[in-house]
Each structure stands twice: as structure tokens, then as C-alpha cells.
A = this chain, B = another copy of it.
């Protein structure tokens, strides 16, 4: 019998938790009523969680609740959190992987603390120089993986090459039939463009490019991120963070202006079209950044997302474990040695 996919969820992290986390779980259970290959573990305040399980009509044999006494607050720094965090929902949710109980951990709590605690508990994989935070980004043909989104604000060429292997493994776990095309973010697409660091990384990725791990697609510029010609986009955490947030800000600016421009009549007649538009670009669909390069995957949900957004991050956890993320990562890291 195949082992079930076991997802550890920090039920307490993020705004409006555990309401939104448990509602997110109920959405996931409804979507997967005929699907029994997974198991969900909820970490947090037992009393609060149980009352929400009741509210959302989740029976006690569908999930397992593990009581913890405290939570990591949003304004806590990694330093204080480490001292005080061993009985928090976040710590136990991640620690569950080291005792072999769970395959993946999900939290909507404090990002800084989550990254530090995850690294402390799960430890970096042998062949990885730095772990990275990868995000999903919509494009014209489907979906990109972009990394690093801010875990490492300064990177060398080995870090960027590792990101290419990690990101490609993530992409393959989500789309097992695709060969990921990797691009390096730059200020121009010609080989002479960019910093020395990017030129060195370019050479290394060119040498590593193959049919089994990833195909290197060269440089791309910011305006090509959403074109869909690349599947995995590599950059340092500073640039990736600025690019992601600039895209979020631009999207907000445009949709806010669109709302202001539409009058009552036009809203009435374009209601369904606009609903489709909104649905397609709903940022909740891409909720969940994946912390890669540790001996176990950790998914960070946006703190401010709602139950639907949290549902998508549970779904992401389920999919990447079903797609054998950790095996894909190990294969890709072996490939590194061929360089």
C-alpha cells in the first residue's frame, strides 16, 4: 500500500486564523471527497480548532489535531522566536517532518521566523549552497516558477545555479510531462548584457542544460516574465522580491483604475465578463511560496489571504508531494555534479 501524502498545517498563522485555515481545509476536503490518498495534521490551539472543525462540519476522522500552547506573533523577530517557539504551532508543524510523520509543512505565519525555524529544524540539503523561496507567477500560457523571492538578497553564481535545479524540480513536480525551460533575469537578452555574476551563471547553466533536468533558455527581461516562453525564472532574492512586489503593485494600480473608470451601466453590462477576468487573474490562485533546498518542503501562504487562498496553498502542498518534489530535487542535485 502506498503511503498517504501527509500535510502538516500551522492552523494559527496569518490573519483571521484559525477561521480561514480551517475553512480552507474544508474547501480542500470538499474538492477531494473521492480522493483518499492524503492525510491532514492541524497544529494549534485544540479548543479553537475543534470549534471551527464543528462550524465547517469537518469530522474528526478527516483530520488530526495536535495541540500546541502558543503561536508565533507577526511582530516577533527570528531571534526571540527561536528562544520561545518550541511549543508554537509553527515550530511543531515543521518539526513534524523530522520525526517522519509528515511530508510537507504549510503556514501563513510570520515569514522571517518561518524561514529561520525551517532552516534550523530541517537543515539544508547536502549539495545546496543556499535555500530559496520560489513563487508561482501566472503567464500567458500557464504558470512560471520564479526564485529567489527574497530569502537571499545577495547571491553568487553557485547559488543561482542551485536555484535553477531546485526551481526545475519544483516545476516538474507540478507538470510531470513538461521539460522546464530555465531563464535568467537580466536587463537585456543579448549575451553581453548584465553583471559578471550573470555572465558566469549563464555559462554554467548553458553547460548544464539537457533534456532530463532543464533546458536553458538564456536571458530574459522583466517584460518577458509573463510571456510564457520560460517556465523557471532565476534571479537573486533582492531583484526577485522587487520584481514580484512591483508586479503586485502594478496589478493593483490597474485594477483599481479600472474599477474607478467603470460607471454603473457599464458595470451592469460587463458584470459576467469582468467576473471571468477577475477569476482568471485572482492572486489567491497563486498563493503559496515554496521554501526549497531543505530536507523537506515548507510552503508559506500569504498572511492576509482568505480561506480560498489558503485552500490553494493546501492544494499546492498536495500537488508537489504527489509529483514527488523531493525525488525530483535529489535527481536535479545529482545532475549538478556533471558540470
Contacts and interface: CB of A to CB of B under 8 A. Distances in A.
A257 B269 contact: no
Contacts of A1: none
Contact of A249 (B153, B227, B266, B269): B227
A122 interface: no
B185 A242 contact: yes
Interface stretch (A63-71, A208-216, A274-282): A274-282
A268 interface: yes
B251 A254 contact: yes
Given A195-B154, A249-B226, A261 B242 contact: no
Copies of the polypeptide in the assembly: 2
A324 to B, nearest CB: 31
A248 interface: yes
A156 interface: no
Q: Lowest 3 CB-CB distances: which A-B pairs, in order?
A: A222-B245, A266-B270, A269-B269
Interface in A203-226: 221-226
A138 B223 CA distance: 17
A130 B257 CA distance: 36
Interface stretch (A168-176, A233-241, A315-323): A233-241
Interface of A: 138-140, 150, 153-154, 185, 187, 194-195, 221-227, 235, 237-239, 241-258, 261-263, 265-274, 276-277, 280-281
Given A263-B273, A266-B273, A270-B266, A246 B248 contact: no
A140 B253 contact: yes
19 contacts: A138-B253, A139-B253, A153-B187, A185-B242, A187-B241, A222-B242, A222-B245, A222-B248, A223-B245, A225-B249, A226-B249, A235-B242, A246-B247, A247-B250, A258-B277, A261-B273, A262-B273, A262-B277, A266-B274
